[in-house]
Amino acid sequence: MSLDVTDLLHKRVRDIPDYPTPGVVFKDITPLLADPEGFSHVIRALVDRCAPTEIDLVVGLEARGFILGSPAALALGAGFVPIRKAGKLPARVLQETYDLEYGTATVEMHTDAVAPGSRVLIVDDVLATGGTARAAVELVRRAGGTVVGLSVLLELSFLNGRERLSDVVLHTLATV
């Protein structure tokens, strides 16, 4: 495949209108995930945007951030840490509540997942309002980690999520 990453994302990410609530257009990455060459290409692009920064841990946000963050962590030789919805992790957790474009939510991370001083890359599929990403940044910092960047496939620029993350290096593969 000789597509550039932006073209690849526009061809392999489909819009699902009115999901999960009326008025929201969900960006579905499952067609991209089903394309092994395309999937590999975007993982490499996510990782390359961080070079030459040294990264100890990749944090993936539930749920698509798990799918993207795990192979990114392997490619970087880093560990992987999941940030999950409230009530899904078995050990002691740090919590952060945030606003979504369609409500509020709480995410959690194990208290011992990020060692103080760890250099952390946060990975997710879409940056919308920035609430989930901001919550992840706060959790990593409260644990003593240093957020060296946030990498996403798509940024929905009309929702202004970037404004909530002005203190974070943001890598986006495509903006819509």
Between CA 116 and CA 141 the distance in angstroms is 9
Whether residue 101 lies in the annotated active site = yes
C-alpha neighbours within 13 Å on the C-beta side of residue 105 = 21
Catalytic position from the list 44, 49, 101, 138: 101
Catalytic one of 64, 134, 162, 164: 64
Report CA Rg, the chain. 15
Clarify whether 49 is annotated catalytic: no
What 3-state class would DSSP assign to 118?
Answer: coil
Residues 77, 64: Cα–Cα separation, whole Å: 20
Compute the distance between CA of residue 118 and CA of residue 148 in angstroms, rounded to an integer.
10
CA distances from 159 to 40, 102, 141, 163 (A): 28, 12, 24, 9
Neighbours of 158 (CB within 10 A): 9
Which active-site residues does the annotation give? 64, 101
